[in-house]
Structure 1
């Protein structure tokens, strides 16, 4: 922990972490709030699912595109524009009574305009700390984001059920605008300028570390989404036990990230972290007892944040600075698709074989990530004797001969 205290004493680091976590806090609220609101308005979970699907499609498409725009028009301009559009779309969903296709269109607009805060902050990090602190910073970031997934669903559920779904959506808008403004006005956002990428959209995916980070992120978040579906199904649609068990899962991730964040990253780092997740999730299949699930998910969670930290560090170290935001955008898209796939597969298995099917799906996703990490280990960079800073952008220098 001494290393993290030194890291947080670096000028601006604590502030930018707090600002970006606040700006991203609505990400843990929007899906649940929209689900509750559209079901309340239409009386149909199917209709709510369609609006959520439109929102997720928008987020997946926007990730690499809006992240890349930050190199063309600047971070503050892109973040401010997307923030205002997203806030307007959520406000419209809250206040307007319109046909389902209009709700779907508003959900799509909200998803497309999700501010690329995650890509922005992970592009800023290498400019804020020295090379030896970068990997621990990525680990700290991956660990602290668990706060979002622990607190946000609880808060929005309480507001939605006690005060109503409209106040819940408007609360999201307030946090979105306040947190977004805090992050956008941070001095680091104004100081760091991303060079405009000279390559076509998607070219960055030709880099093995980027495609591996995207693929493993898809599988890791797919496993997490399947776990969430399994826990909800096990404890009768979200009783107290469900919240506590999922909180233990997140606490395991937080603890794992803080514990392993200082360990140098070698080619086998991802495989070792996926092994922890796979073992923990495989053990969940043995029993659906709350204590057993809590213990096994605590083990599995210990590998989640460390695996995410490897993805962030290997991506940063493998691309030019002008490509980092887009690369993180693709990784975010992979994770969004993984969440949708994990939830869908787990849902079908719950219907077919019961809650245990969701844990089988989660273990299968994690095992697939372990296999990918082992089979393609040569594609993972060795960062044990080098830093995770992006490759500098260079331009031709004109000389007089």
Structure 2
């Protein structure tokens, strides 16, 4: 098994974009929990902390649908850099707004805006795997399944390490520390990723087609998958808030 993972990582540029993508995705497992710790610590309300965290996560999920299409049309290097800059600016402004006791409605708008600008790093990395493997083999190569399995392992690792770092920083250093560290890590990882132009997929500009196009959301299988993911996310999200409230 390990030999198959080593084989795909030896592909030209694979180790570089996979490792930088791993770094760029780490904030994904830190920011939501960091917002929860920070908001509840400043306001004393776990309900408000959960609300702010959920607002960020939901806006991120919605924003990634639009931004991912822009990435496909314009290219990763033209979109991801602007997104991470906007998200980082929004998160920094959110921290300032809470520290200065701005109206909670303003802080909520800021955190929603920051979430909407979250770059979809996972899909970008998987698109690079598809591009690189198709270039040396074929788009249906077994290597692609191996690469996607490797990325799934990396994401499990991210969601194991990220919350541990977040909790330790918030408790041992300062409440906003996890958010600030996530900003630094996200910017560094994303900038390193988008500088690797040789493995970036070719953009697919929008073109007119005479073939009728059916939206993905109209497929029953896609809708069922989305609803299942939402239900699973709601369960894990409620665990996050309740466990933090119970432990602290």
* Structure 1 length-normalised TM: 0.53
Residue 12 of structure 2 corresponds to residue 3 of structure 1: no
Counterparts of 1:94 and 1:60, CA distance in 2 = 21
Match 2:128 to one of 124, 130, 133: 124
Q: 1:135 to 1:109 in 2, by over 3 A?
A: same
Paired residues in the alignment total 235
Counterparts of 1:21 and 1:231, CA distance in 2 = 22
Residue 160 of structure 2 corresponds to residue 150 of structure 1: yes
Paired position in structure 1 for 2:18:
17
Paired position in structure 1 for 2:225:
216
* TM alignment of 1:44-123, pairs within 5 A: 44-96=45-97, 97=100, 98-123=102-127
Q: Which has the higher contact order (CA 8 A, sep 6+)?
A: 2
Counterparts of 1:51 and 1:12, CA distance in 2 = 38
Q: What CA deviation, in whole Å up to 9, does each residue of 1:223-253 have, x standing for no partner?
A: 46536756986899359xxxxxxxxxxxxxx
Contact 1:23 1:180 in 2 (8 A): yes
Contact 1:72 1:196 in 2 (8 A): yes
Paired position in structure 2 for 1:42:
43
Deviation (angstroms), 1:15? 1.6
Counterparts of 1:25 and 1:59, CA distance in 2 = 15
Q: What CA deviation, in whole Å up to 9, does each residue of 1:253-298 have, x standing for no partner?
A: xxxxxxxxxxxxxxxxxxxxxxxxxxxxxxxxxxxxxxxxxxxxxx
Residue 197 of structure 2 corresponds to residue 193 of structure 1: no
Deviation (angstroms), 1:69? 0.9
Residue 141 of structure 2 corresponds to residue 137 of structure 1: no
The structure with the larger Rg is: 1
SS in 2 for 1:55: helix
Counterparts of 1:183 and 1:15, CA distance in 2 = 8
Counterparts of 1:140 and 1:118, CA distance in 2 = 12
Deviation (angstroms), 1:172? 1.1
Contact 1:93 1:106 in 2 (8 A): yes
Paired position in structure 2 for 1:354:
none
Match 1:226 to one of 207, 218, 235: 235
5+ long unaligned stretches in structure 2: none
* Structure 2 length-normalised TM: 0.83
Counterparts of 2:70 and 2:233, CA distance in 1 = 30
Residue 193 of structure 2 corresponds to residue 205 of structure 1: no
Counterparts of 1:229 and 1:73, CA distance in 2 = 37
Counterparts of 1:165 and 1:113, CA distance in 2 = 23
Deviation (angstroms), 1:221? 6.5
Q: What CA deviation, in whole Å up to 9, does each residue of 1:110-167 have, x standing for no partner?
A: 1110012122222222111133211111111112210110000000100001111122
* TM alignment of 1:143-292, pairs within 5 A: 143-188=153-198, 191-198=200-207, 203-205=214-216, 208=219, 212-213=221-222, 215-216=224-225, 218-220=227-229, 222-223=231-232, 226=235, 229=238, 237-238=246-247
Q: 1:10 to 1:91 in 2, by over 3 A?
A: same
SS in 2 for 1:222: helix
Q: 1:76 to 1:234 in 2, by over 3 A?
A: closer
Q: What CA deviation, in whole Å up to 9, does each residue of 1:20-48 have, x standing for no partner?
A: 11101001001111011111222222222
5+ long unaligned stretches in structure 1: 240-401
